[in-house]
Chains A and B, each alone.
Chain A
Amino acid sequence: MDEKKTNHETGFSSDALKNPQRVVFITRKTSAKVKADVPPQVMTYPHLLLRESIAFYVLVIALVLVALLWDAPLEQLANPLVTPNPAKAPWYFLGLQELLHYFPPFVAGILIPTLVVIALIVIPYFNVNVEGEPIWARNGARRFRIFLVVLAGLALFLSVFRAWTVLVPTILIGALLVYSYFAAPGRGHFPDYLRSRAVYWWVMTWFIFVAVVLTVVGTFFRGPGWSWVWPWRGYGG
């Protein structure tokens, strides 16, 4: 309270209630509308910028340490006459390259990426289920039947193309959905969490899971002729 403030001390209080900065005159019959639930706010300078600076320092230190210990790869001079087997794209395209193994180039290389980008762009303009209603909350039995038909159709389609590395993660996510439908409420945190998820959550989680599995398989489990190899057997990557 009685601390002597030196002239360089800035203080960190930015609570407008404690340090009023503004006087408002409210005359009769023209009362200002006041929002009741304004959340607590702090000043960007210094609170946000201080945190960003710390994040920046930590990131740079970590990067420098890794860059000192781990060398970027450099192979032989490019030679169009010597094709490595397999020739792999950068890691973030290996999911697509894995799809290319199963589907015709137009489908895997053009159609699916285009549809994914379009789907990502239209996400905020599809105001379906803004409230995030849990998937089985209403019409549970009917929705479950629809889900089973969709899952069976998808599984059949992927089996016809023998796209096993897409089929397996799809089945796993499907199994989680079936589990969330049948699990009794209040039996634990995990089933309750799953049951409270909305449709959009399931679709995105399925998409990310499939993408991660495809990328990992393409990066570590594919060898000559795009055949399946085990990374610990010395090939791949």
Chain B
Amino acid sequence: MATTFQEALARLRETHVWKSIFRRGPARTNRTRSLAVFGNLFLHFLPVKVREKTLRVRATYYLGSISFLLFAILAITGVLLMFYYHPAVPQAYRDMKDLRFVVSNGVFLRNLHRLAAQLMVAAVFAHMFHVFYRGGYKPPHEFNWVVGVVLLLVTLFLSYTGYLLPWDQLAFWAITVGSNIISAMPFFGKYVRFQLLGGNVVGENALLRFYVLHCVVLPLIAVFFVAIHFWRVQKDGGLTVRNQDGRKEN
């Protein structure tokens, strides 16, 4: 059975159509395996070869991968949620109720999005601290560490803007508390808060602004910096495995 399937797959890979799509036949040799990576738009930012030691679970705990995968899950569930959501007061809250009582699997969809969001914040923090203890910020990885700090801030801001969207008491007061802190900024605190909320209080304008930031602006910024982040891992010579003293271990 398995053999039949594998043979069918192997035959498929030899076909003209397959080769026209993937620009190669079966990845049997190191050359075609290299092609599978750098001949693919979505994989070409990865190195063709990786050090064996960086594949150990303890080297990374897959924290970076997990952060990215959570981001992908959030993008998919987020788009699905957008089909059922209006950024308006009080329709936003009614949409939450509809998700719970009307939409098929609406609760599950929202649960998945919310859970992945909380986990992504935790995973990004864990990723950063793990990289720090591993000495992964050391030359030549300095700039990629800075990109990582930017991605942490983008993640926090993504989560924060998403927090308002259900428009329940929890959302409203969390954003009120958070935005009050901004007004403590000297000189332009009040101005920044006004621009962020589109007014002096958390209201309809704030909901719309947070919606646009959450669904369009911040995801685009995140994708932009994630692309740089991945690409730089490869350009800076791949992950570095270091021993406990932070020295390079080949």
Q: With contacts A7-B10, A74-B100, A110-B185 known, is A41 near B172, CB below 8 A?
A: no
Would you give 17 A-B contacts (Cβ < 8 Å), ordered by A? A45-B36, A52-B65, A59-B66, A70-B111, A74-B166, A77-B90, A78-B89, A78-B171, A84-B169, A88-B173, A89-B178, A90-B163, A105-B180, A110-B189, A123-B137, A125-B142, A131-B247
Given A72-B107, A75-B170, A121-B149, 14 more pairs with CB closer than 8 A: A14-B49, A40-B52, A43-B34, A60-B73, A63-B115, A70-B115, A74-B168, A78-B168, A87-B174, A87-B177, A120-B128, A127-B139, A196-B245, A201-B133
A contact residues around B31 at 8 Å (CB): 21
Distance to closest chain B CB from A196 (angstroms): 7
Listed residue (A52, A74, A76, A196) with the most chain B CB atoms within 10 angstroms of its CB = A74
CB distance B49 to A59 under 8 Å? no
A contact residues around B125 at 8 Å (CB): 92
B102 within 8 Å of A (CB atoms):
no
CB distance B50 to A42 under 8 Å? yes
Q: With contacts A59-B69, A124-B142, A132-B245 known, is A37 near B250, CB below 8 A?
A: yes
Q: With contacts A39-B51, A42-B55, A77-B168 known, is A68 near B186, CB below 8 A?
A: no
A contact residues around B153 at 8 Å (CB): 117
Interface-facing stretch out of B22-30, B211-219, B222-230: B22-30
Tell me, in angstroms, the Cα distance from A42 to B37 when the chains sit together. Answer: 13
CB distance A67 to B112 under 8 Å? yes
A55 within 8 Å of B (CB atoms):
yes
Q: Which of A44, A79, A198 contacts B246 (CB 8 A)?
A: A198
Which chain B residues have a beta carbon within 8 Å of chain A's beta carbons? Answer: 6-7, 9-10, 26-31, 33-34, 36-37, 43, 46-53, 55, 62, 65-66, 69-70, 73, 89-90, 93, 96-97, 100, 107-108, 110-116, 118-119, 121, 125, 128-129, 132-133, 135, 137-139, 141-143, 145-146, 149, 152-153, 156, 159-160, 163, 166-174, 176-178, 180-182, 184-186, 189, 201-202, 244-247, 250
Tell me, in angstroms, the Cα distance from A214 to B138 when the chains sit together. Answer: 29
CB distance B114 to A204 under 8 Å? no
Distance to closest chain A CB from B164 (angstroms): 9
CB distance A120 to B172 under 8 Å? no
A217 within 8 Å of B (CB atoms):
no
Which chain A residues have a beta carbon within 8 Å of chain B's beta carbons? Answer: 6-8, 10-11, 14, 16, 19, 21, 37-49, 51-52, 55-56, 59-60, 63-64, 66-68, 70-80, 82-84, 87-93, 96-97, 100, 104-106, 108-110, 117, 120-121, 123-125, 127, 130-132, 196, 198, 201, 204, 208
Tell me, in angstroms, the Cα distance from A34 to B124 when the chains sit together. Answer: 39
B contact residues around A83 at 8 Å (CB): 173
CB distance A204 to B129 under 8 Å? yes
Closest to B159 in A: A90
Distance to closest chain B CB from A146 (angstroms): 22
Distance to closest chain A CB from B196 (angstroms): 14
Q: With contacts A21-B31, A74-B100 known, is A109 near B184, CB below 8 A?
A: yes
Q: With contacts A44-B37, A198-B246 known, is A67 near B48, CB below 8 A?
A: no
Q: With contacts A39-B53, A59-B69, A67-B112 known, is A79 near B172, CB below 8 A?
A: yes
